[in-house]
Amino acid sequence: MKVYRDDYGIPHLRAGSVLELAHLQGRVTAADRGRQLHIERLRSEGRLASEAGRDELGWDVFARRARLDDTARRCFAGLSDETRAFLEAYADGVRAGGVEWHPWSSLGVFQVHHILFGTFPNKMWRAHVERTLGPEAVAWFAIEGPNGSGSNAWAVPGEIAGDPHRLLELPGVYQQIRLACPEFDVAGLTFPGVPGVQHFGHAGSVAWAITNAMADYQDLYVEDLRTGDAGVEARGATGWEPVITLRETIAVRDAEPVVIDILETARGPIIDGTLSLRTPARVAADLGFDALLPLLRASTVDDVADALSRWVEPVNSVLVADDTGRIVQLTAGRVPVRDDRNKWVPVPAWDRRYAWQPGWAPMARADVPDAVNANDRRPDTEAHGIDFAPPARARRIRTLLDAGVPHALIHMDTSMAADSAEAGRHEAWRSAVARALWERPELKPLFEDCGHDPLFAPWTDPRGRIGNALDGVLAGLGLDPADLADPAAAPAEPWGERHLLYPIQLPGHEVPFPRTPLAGSRDCVLNTSSVTGVSDLCLRGPVARYVWDLADRERSRWVVPFGAVDDPASPHFLDQLPLWAAGSLVPLVTDWDRLELEEQL
């Protein structure tokens, strides 16, 4: 087994077999991202407060109530023998690198990154809007409005490019890596803690990329509970049903332990008040990890599509291209078949109309001449959800492609330059308009306590919701923004003076961060999001950029916001940050002779 590095410390791994390679990937990830692995495992087990204190208790309570660790164990038990061995070899490697890890920890960490990535918190918000302002007001806050944000991916014959958007975290949520053995040679981006390459990869003859399909696959049910001689029961469609009840103790650093009750109905675990959460992964005891090895072994677009037919959640839009010039666009994942009302708000658990039907909704798969995906509503996705991004980004990318603009410049396309005083003035004015709306009597009912756990505040805080849907709220109320705030009174300060990168850091491992002005805004291809009226700081944006070249993989490029290593003392902690901020990309070096051999086992 051999470990090579390029100039940015990105690991390139070679081994004699798949299991040796998995072990090596685990060991190298422990060396490069050991702090991150430790924190993410604690998150997946609901034990972060034991080290980070009361600030993380809310997450631990949610993780326990949502039964993330139990779901990870169930999903691991249901994997094929080959996939279980793959995860076991990776776990052995992580432990050899000095980090505590279980074979199912990879499944738990993957859930941590995606459980709040779905749609169920939006249902809490819409129910609050219906209750306080009336059903007609729900449309004011539609995500599919002029200020929607999200990821981008596009494919033309021989090339795929794009940039996934998520919360910006330090260390980064994606790890650049190359995995080579006699069966395959794949370079791509992986979640630290998960073996293989899941969402973005280049296998030489074929490459793939994903964006969120914006599918609705998580349901919330309002449970009616009672306690009697038989214990806790929930009212289902055919009467009262037993509820699984557990009691767990959460250790909290520098504080007394907290005891919580955990309840799970026939729909799913109760996560907040009387709301239960139903997800495909919990129902089927499957996250789709049996796709991991077939994906690594893929050599054609059909191989990738067949591998991802095993995928469960999150539901993804996938672009695949190979060296024959073929491009396939597909949707991968499991979407339940049920009433449309389930997609909007929590529904009563006792009403049989809202039960899941047997089977899953069919997924689209088609050859296309080219494609642009930007979380927008398309024929292949619109049946599966309601929370799509507006079409402007997809149209803009298509226009730039037709004009022959290089991929790296498409990544950075924006009308909000960091040095633009006019952009700064415009956004300062819009923030003033948003804050004026907070005081409008028509919206005051929104500020009543929604009753949900503070963990869900990013989705249920009216201030953020008004800022993110500013134009929709103005139109719904029939207001002229100039009547709420004078555009001429807004300060003409360069946008980048306020629009600064502000990543979320590991609890207990926070470090001083260099001041990094950013261009971009929510409605641009360069989608560096802030919350109008609340903060101009950028917490969400492109967590990677890539250009996969199928004719010559050596011409492929990629970049992440931070670096390959989570140790602040390492030269590779933040070495890609200036490149990422400027829109530059790092070459994907595939010639082993041009890489530095770090270790041979």
Task: Determine the angle formed by the axes of helices 105-114 and 81-96, rounding to 10 degrees.
Answer: 90
Cβ density class 44-71: b for 16+ within 10 Å, e for less: bbbbbbbebeeebbbbbbbbbbbbbbbb
Structure tokens at 20: 């040796």
178, 12 in Cβ contact below 8 A? yes
* Partners of residue 276 on adjacent β-strands: 221, 270
Q: Give residue 440's identity as a one-letter amino acid code.
A: R
Ramachandran bin of 580, using left for φ above 0, alpha for ψ from -120 to 50, beta for the remaining angles = alpha
| pLDDT given at position 356 | 98
Structure tokens at 512: 């001083």
Residue 146, pLDDT > 50, answer no
* Partners of residue 330 on adjacent β-strands: 318, 365
* Predicted confidence band of residue 147 (pLDDT cuts 50, 70, 90): very low
Omega prior to 146 cis, within 30 of 0? no
Separation between Cα atoms, residue 474 and residue 466, nearest integer Å? 9
| CA-closest candidate to residue 163, choices 496, 408, 519 | 408
| pLDDT given at position 145 | 47
| pLDDT given at position 422 | 97
Helix and strand totals (H; E) in the chain: 19, 32
Structure tokens at 45: 């087990």
What DSSP character marks residue 325? S
The DSSP bridge pattern shows strands 504-505 and 169-170 to be parallel
466, 502 in Cβ contact below 8 A? no
CA distances, 249 to each of 41, 258, 261, 287 (Å): 18, 6, 9, 27
Q: What is the largest CA-CA distance in the chain?
A: 72
Mean pLDDT, rounded, of the chain: 96
| pLDDT given at position 311 | 98
| CA-closest candidate to residue 413, choices 428, 427, 430, 393 | 393
126, 321 in Cβ contact below 8 A? no
| pLDDT given at position 345 | 98
| pLDDT given at position 143 | 75
| CA-closest candidate to residue 545, choices 429, 412, 454 | 412
Q: For residue range 172-218, list pLDDT tens digits in order.
A: 999 999 999 999 999 999 999 999 999 999 999 999 999 999 999 99
| CA-closest candidate to residue 295, choices 209, 372, 217, 166 | 209
49, 56 in Cβ contact below 8 A? yes
3-state secondary structure 441-507: CCCHHHHCCCCCCHHHHHHHCHHHHHHHCHHHHHHHHCCCHHHHCCHHHCCCCCHHHHCEECCEECC
* Partners of residue 162 on adjacent β-strands: 153, 546
Residue 148, pLDDT > 80, answer no
Residues near 587 by beta carbon (within 8 Å), at least 6 away in sequence: 554, 556, 557
| pLDDT given at position 601 | 82
Segment 323-352 mean pLDDT: 98
| pLDDT given at position 149 | 62
* Partners of residue 531 on adjacent β-strands: 535
The DSSP bridge pattern shows strands 175-181 and 11-14 to be parallel
Alpha helices in 154-271 (DSSP H): none
* Predicted confidence band of residue 522 (pLDDT cuts 50, 70, 90): confident
- List the domains of the chain with CATH numbers: 2-115+148-218+282-412+542-600 (3.60.20.10), 131-147+413-541 (no CATH), 219-281 (2.30.120.10)
Separation between Cα atoms, residue 25 and residue 423, nearest integer Å? 44
Segment 278-288 mean pLDDT: 98
CA distances, 463 to each of 25, 39, 433 (Å): 43, 30, 12
Separation between Cα atoms, residue 31 and residue 17, nearest integer Å? 21
| pLDDT given at position 251 | 98
Structure tokens at 356: 């899941």
CA distances, 541 to each of 60, 149, 267, 358, 523 (Å): 26, 9, 34, 38, 12
pTM metric for this prediction: 0.96
Q: For residue range 239-277, list pLDDT tens digits in order.
A: 999 999 999 999 999 999 999 999 999 999 999 999 999
